[in-house]
Structure 1
Amino acid sequence: MALHCLASIFKRHSKVLQTNCTFINFIHFTCFLKKIHANELLTESSQTTLQRLTGLPIVHHHGYVCELPPNHRFPMPKFHKVLEFLIKDNVISREKQVIHPKQVSRKLACRAHTEEYVDKFFSGKTTVEEQRVTGFTWTPGLASRVRYETGGTVLASQLSISRGLAASTAGGTHHAFPDKGSGYCLINDLAVAAIHLSDTTDITRVLIVDLDVHQVVVHFTSF
């Protein structure tokens, strides 16, 4: 499923389906490797924070988590727990490594998705059936979370260019098609980041290593 989703996006951006930059999606800990230059999607405070960062940049935002109905099967708290465990186990330093992203813009989201779908999702106009397929009931909080998550993946990809390696504590929403969401995935953050790097840097090839247990069909429909 996820491979088909990305394929439907990437078929429109064939130059991304090669490799110069490596995306490694560890389910909900998305890492990017490359070494060139660039950074965008940084808040003003994050631009200042970037100057004091040492070690591996970890992109995280409290907006990665939103409220879901009681007993919902999606384990939303895991995005904060990833960061908490890394800090608790002294793997990373909050002060020296954590940086916060902006929400992804409509314009950038539309590079991987249709304008109709992006507008419907951002404004909460997806149908009940469309929401059922995604596994989520639309709320403003959900839309905000998805935009922060996607912005975080794009930021991690950009930081990897200047730092050599960067990671985000959320992402990997590879089941989202260009014109619809599915399987708990609403905006395909990997596709958005790959296309953005292709648009703004000298990267001409991207390799996505997907370690999820589900068959991936989206990638082939995304570019």
Structure 2
Amino acid sequence: MLKIAYSPLYKLDLPEGHRFPMEKYELLPEQLLYEGTVTSSNFFEPTDLDKKWVLNTHDSEYFEKLIRLDLSKSEIRKTGFPLTRALIEREIHIMQGSIEASIFALENGIAMNIAGGTHHAFTDRGEGFCLLNDIAISANYLLENQLAKKVLVVDLDVHQGNGTAQIFENKKQVFTFSMHGASNYPMHKEKSDLDIGLPDKIQDEEYLGLLKKNLIPLIDKFQPDFIIYQCGVDVLESDKLGRLGMTIQGCKERDRIVLELAKINQIPIMCCMGGGYSPKISNIIEAHANTYRLAQEIFF
């Protein structure tokens, strides 16, 4: 059965001027239930997170500052969010959701987190709507508990996974692959194990060709026993932050390539949603929903 992490805390009420599409965290589950892609039994609510798994990835001083709501104005500005207790509780639930989804993926081949993909969080700071890095926390959890020996991070959000790259720059058990807009945020890129910088306005055919050209041999060479997939839908042409030229169908084919490679190679995969900022919320929901539809089609 496809298991999906979801908590009502994922949807956060923010002051006017700080909102981006938070609605998707509520609307996506509703859409999946309405169309029959999943039932309520597919969802689980994350339990409490043991902070040792945060400290296995993030600096203790930084985490304690978060808990105390003690970030400087400059640090808060870089995250893009006003710092509140509710925000920290949301972030912690997202981290646990990705850990538990990873465990379910080991059992069922695939599992999902409605939120997550917080790839701009570094060991000692947050950026770009990311305070803690669920991708890194989940990978380290798997390695620390000997549930995986080699983890491949496939990050196909339009923005480089700079925080993930920094966290794992000296860890050979984790391979970071980021395919992102070359001229998009962040302006200063970290060094992933494999970075593919994309030109503005790239179309479906060229994008999908580059993905297959790089990901297929990468899996053969690295031989991961777990994949964490950051499947942001800000690659869409309609996205106000993305600057690429992909259609919703092209985004779906992107997901199909990744999920089918995981299935064919019998590699468990955990999917976290990442970004999506199209002005029409229906475009965001449709693109995200395709990932869940494909998970059911390919794995179950």
**Bin of the TM-score, shorter chain as denominator length:** 0.7 to 0.9
Conservation of the 8 A alpha-carbon contact between 1:112 and 1:222: yes
Conservation of the 8 A alpha-carbon contact between 1:194 and 1:206: yes
Identity of aligned residues (%): 36
What amino acid sits opposite 1:116 in the alignment?
E
What amino acid sits opposite 1:177 in the alignment?
F
Unaligned stretches of 5+ in structure 2?
A: 169-300
2: CA distance, partners of 1:171 / 1:103: 16
Conservation of the 8 A alpha-carbon contact between 2:18 and 2:80: no
Match of 1:183 in 2: 128
Conservation of the 8 A alpha-carbon contact between 1:103 and 1:144: no
Please give the per-residue CA displacement for 1:66-97, whole angstroms capped at 9, x wherever unaligned: 22102423222211211111111111001x21
2: CA distance, partners of 1:131 / 1:202: 35
1: CA distance, partners of 2:147 / 2:132: 24
Conservation of the 8 A alpha-carbon contact between 2:46 and 2:97: yes
Conservation of the 8 A alpha-carbon contact between 2:133 and 2:164: no
- 1:177-216 aligned within 5 A: 177-216=122-161
Match of 2:35 in 1: 89
2:98 aligned with 1:153, yes or no?
yes
What amino acid sits opposite 2:26 in the alignment?
H
Match of 1:36 in 2: none
Unaligned stretches of 5+ in structure 1?
A: 1-54
2: CA distance, partners of 1:162 / 1:209: 20
3-state secondary structure, aligned to 1:221: helix
- 1:1-223 aligned within 5 A: 55-94=1-40, 96-223=41-168
Please give the per-residue CA displacement for 1:1-33, whole angstroms capped at 9, x wherever unaligned: xxxxxxxxxxxxxxxxxxxxxxxxxxxxxxxxx
1: CA distance, partners of 2:111 / 2:135: 14
3-state secondary structure, aligned to 1:166: strand
Structure 1 stretches of 4+ with a deviation exceeding 4 A read: none
* Number of equivalenced pairs: 168
2: CA distance, partners of 1:140 / 1:126: 12
TM-fit CA distance, 1:103? 3.5
Rg larger in structure: 2
Question: Structure with the greater relative contact order (CA < 8 A, sep ≥ 6): 1 or 2?
Answer: 1
2: CA distance, partners of 1:122 / 1:77: 25
3-state secondary structure, aligned to 2:2: coil
